[in-house]
Amino acid sequence: MDIFKRLGWFFRREKKSYMIGIFSLVTVALLQLIPPRIIGIVVDEIETNSITSQSLTFWLGILAASAVGQYVFRYIWRMRIWGNAAKLEQLVREQLYNHFTSMDSQFFQKYRAGDLMAHATNDLRGLRMVAGGGILTMADAISVGLTTLLAMIFLVDWRLTLLAVFPLPLLAITSRILGRKLHLRFKDAQASFSQLNDKVQESIQGVKVLKTFGQEKEDIEEFKIQTDNVVAKNRLVYKIDSLFDPAITLIMGVSYFLTILVGGILITGNEITIGDFVTFINYIGMLVWPMFAIGRLFNIIERGSASYDRIENLLREESSIVERDGSIETPINGNLDFDIKKFSYPDDETVTLQNVHFKLNKGHTMGLVGKTGAGKTTILKLLLREYDAYKGHIQYGGHDIRDYTLNALLQQVGYVPQDNYLFSTTIRDNIRFADPTMPQSVVEEAAKLADIHEDILNLPNGYDTQVGERGVSLSGGQKQRISIARAIITNPELMILDDSLSAVDAKTEESILSGLKRKRRNQTTIIAAHRISSVMHAEEIIVVEQGTIVERGTHKELLELDGWYKDMYQQQQLEQKLEGEDI
């Protein structure tokens, strides 16, 4: 019941709506009592021959009126209560979404995308059940249960009522117990299904390997083991699931048995009329649902509150990246001074960066090379303020980057990440991601600089071509160039290419780099790369190894140094030529 308190903010917000809804529910509960009673009365009048056309018309009139009334109030409560449930789902989904967008990268490492999606779908559904089904069940069970019970006692006979409803609490208990058991077994079944999912996913992704080794038959056998497992787990589910209706039948059967027995005796003793008896039997039928629903209510609440726990946990997480009070709002400008004494990722003891120091003057280009995992991307992440906790400082134009507002810093940085993530929209909107109001001419200019304009024109719908999951599939090189265009378009003070030319050929790389050089004569650029050719024209190149700088200088100086850089350069020259790109 705690969940209702925790969702209090929402119930208060929709107070009026819930009050109307619950009022309608109670009204329906009362109106529902009319038909059985009128059936009983008419039966009695017929039985005692006291029926007149007048009385018949009267009773039928009331009955018809109750039908109309029920319809109207049922409509109202459904709209209110189910509508509110949808509203709650919408609100919390929005809260979650807005919260996600304000979280730092640490958050997204802690919770994997799949988990977050699960919270935003399954847990929201659980919550909707509480606000809809939960409220409905509670209000309904109480109002229908209570009014029907009272009607049975006062309109028919209290002794009969006491005896006949005696087995009914069993309904609540049964539905609670069965519901719990079912839930556990259902979870097992779900787990077996997700195992099957994993299996299919892996085999389809690795289908080439399976074909290579000719192991299709064996793989099908393995799949069959999984489907058998799914069937076995679901068998356990059905064993319980199929019990619900029969269990209700049994308990109701006991009630009917008692009703016929005691009712029969009471009629013969002239204590109640036949009409009362008929009314009573109909009333008992009406009690099934509320009693059963009480049991279900507990399960809904249990699951809903677990869901809300998980959602609240997510909402409680805080980003470690915060803007300080009185942050500088003027956009970054000037020279970059990067001086990190020591940096470790949160919850990780290994030192990722140590004594990395470089100065980059406005208008210069710096190259960053080194093996995978040497720390290149980490350096860039610190520049982008993905992590704030380090020893040392990073200054831009003489001020610590942590003293700028995020807008002042990030809007002036054009970052092209390693994984070229494009959104499911048109190519145009992907390029002008930073500002969807930019005109086509600006988009085209950026595309031309990134050497992707021609490629785009060759696509079926040009700049209107949809990309991403449901759109055309682009090559890695095309995606990289679109990401470059996306970063160039804002004409950033600092441009960062994080190994973003790896999938384009040497000629294209050359043309993009020289284009950037021309366009960005007075702006700063950092290029991290595997390929030496991407950085060889930079004013300074630093070689990172195990989180620290091991070589630095211009291309010429580094070759003379005769170290890792030179080795790499020679090896790459050879291999690149042999791949025959110039043939």
Partner 1 sequence: MEQQETIKNKTMPFKQQMHVLKRILKYAHPYRFQFAFAIGLSIVLAIINAILPRIIQVFIDDHITPGAATLSTIIFFASLHFGVTLIRMVVWYFELYIFNMASEKTVKNIRESLYTKLHSLGMRFFDQTSTGWIITRATNDTEAMKDFWNVFLTIMQGVFGVVISLGAMFFLDASVAIWILLFAPVLLLVIRFYQVYSSKTYIEMKSKLSSLNTKLAETINGMSIIQQFRQERRLQKEFEETNQSYYDSRYSMVRINAILLSPVINFLYTLAVVLILAIFGVNALQSPVEVGIIYAFTSYANDFFRPLTRLMDSLSLFQDGIISSSRILTVMDNEEYVPEQEDNPDATIEIGKIEFKDVSFSYDGKTDVLKNINFTVNPGETVALVGHTGSGKSSIINVLMRFYDFQSGEVLIDGRSIKEYPMRELRQKTGLVLQDSFLFYGTIKDNIRIKNDQIKDGEIIKAAKFVQADQFIEDLPGQYDAKVVERGASFSSGQKQLISFASTIVRDPKILILDEATANIDTETEALIQEGLNRMRKGRTTVAIAHRLSTIRDADQILVLDNGRIIERGSHDELIASGGKYKDMYELQNIGLQLS
357 strand-pairing partners: 339
Q: Nearest approach, Cβ of 341 to partner 1 (angstroms)?
A: 25
- Between residue 435 and residue 454, which ones bind partner 1 under the rule CB under 8 A? 436
- Rounded to a whole number of angstroms, the minimum distance from the CB of residue 2 to partner 1 is 27
Of 8, 169, 264, 462, which one interacts with partner 1 (CB under 8 A)?
264
Q: What is the DSSP letter of 331?
A: P
Shortest Å distance, C-beta 169 to partner 1 = 19
Phi and psi dihedrals of 310, rounded to 5? -65, -40
Applying the rule CB under 8 A, the residues between 76 and 95 that interact with partner 1 are 78-79, 82-83, 86-87, 89-90, 93-94
The residue within the footprint of partner 1, chosen from 15, 239, 324, 517 (CB under 8 A), is: 239
User: How many residues touch partner 1 (CB under 8 A)?
Assistant: 146
Using CB under 8 A as the binding rule, the residues of this chain from 392 to 431 that contact partner 1 are: 406-407, 410-411, 413, 415, 417, 421, 423-424
167-206: contacts with partner 1 (CB under 8 A) = 193, 196-198, 200-202, 204-206
Q: Are 521 and 405 in contact (CB under 8 A)?
A: no
| CA dist list (Å): 263 to 149, 157, 250, 498 | 16, 9, 19, 85
Q: Which of residues 98-137 bind partner 1 (CB under 8 A)?
A: 98, 100-103, 105, 108, 113, 116-117, 120-121
Measured from the CB of residue 430, what is the shortest distance to partner 1 in angstroms?
A: 10
265, 306, 322, 457: which one binds partner 1 (CB under 8 A): 265
- Indicate the angle between helix axes 506-519 and 476-488, nearest 10 degrees: 0
Site residues for partner 1, 26-85, by CB under 8 A, read 35, 38-39, 42-43, 45-47, 49, 51-53, 56, 59-60, 63-64, 66-68, 70-71, 74-75, 78-79, 82-83
Binding segment toward partner 1, per CB under 8 A, in 142-150, 165-173, 246-254, 521-529: 246-254
Residue numbers 275-304 binding partner 1 by CB under 8 A: 275, 277-278, 281-282, 285
Query: How near is the Cβ of 93 to partner 1 at its closest, in Å?
Result: 6
Per residue, the 3-state secondary structure of 1-58, as one string, reads CHHHHHCHHHHHHCHHHHHHHHHHHHHHHHHHCHHHHHHHHHHHHHHCCCCCHHHHHH
User: Exactly one of 109, 249, 330, 355 binds partner 1 (CB under 8 A); which one?
Assistant: 249
Q: How far is the CB of 493 from partner 1 (least distance, A)?
A: 14
**Four-residue CA torsion sign, 236, 238, 243, 246:** negative
CB 389 within 8 A of CB 346: yes
For the CB of residue 299, give the shortest distance to partner 1 in the complex, in Å. 19
Contacts of residue 524, defined as CB under 8 A and 6 or more positions apart, other chains included, come to 336, 360, 361, 362, 363, 364, 365, 493, 494, 495
The residue range among 156-164, 290-298, 395-403, 575-583 that interacts with partner 1, by the rule CB under 8 A, is: 575-583
Output the CA angle 194-197-202, nearest 5 degrees: 130
CA–CA separation, 527 vs 427, rounded Å?
24
Contacting partner 1 (CB under 8 A), which of 142, 155, 162, 274?
A: 274
Q: How far is the CB of 1 from partner 1 (least distance, A)?
A: 26
Spatial separation of the C-alpha atoms in residues 396 and 270, rounded to whole Å: 98
What sign does the dihedral 583-499-532-453 (CA atoms) show?
Answer: positive
Of 429, 359, 434, 363, give the one whose Cα is nearest residue 398.
359
Which residue's structure tokens are 């007149």? Answer: 52
Residue 104 tokens read as 């730092």
Shortest spacing between CB 513 and partner 1, in angstroms: 18
Residue 143 touching partner 1 (CB under 8 A): no
Residues 308-337 close enough to bind partner 1 by CB under 8 A: none
CA-to-CA distance for 54 and 46, rounded, in angstroms?
A: 13
Q: Which two tokens stand for residue 227?
A: 């489907």
Tell me 527's DSSP state: E
Question: Which of these ranges, 152-160, 242-250, 358-366, 452-460, lies near partner 1 under the rule CB under 8 A?
Answer: 242-250
Considering only residues 456-485, where is the footprint of partner 1 by CB under 8 A?
A: 468-469, 473
Decide whether 1 or 200 has the Cβ nearer to partner 1: 200
Q: How many CB atoms lie within 10 A of CB 472?
A: 13
Q: How far is the CB of 359 from partner 1 (least distance, A)?
A: 23
Distance CA 453, CA 511 (A): 13
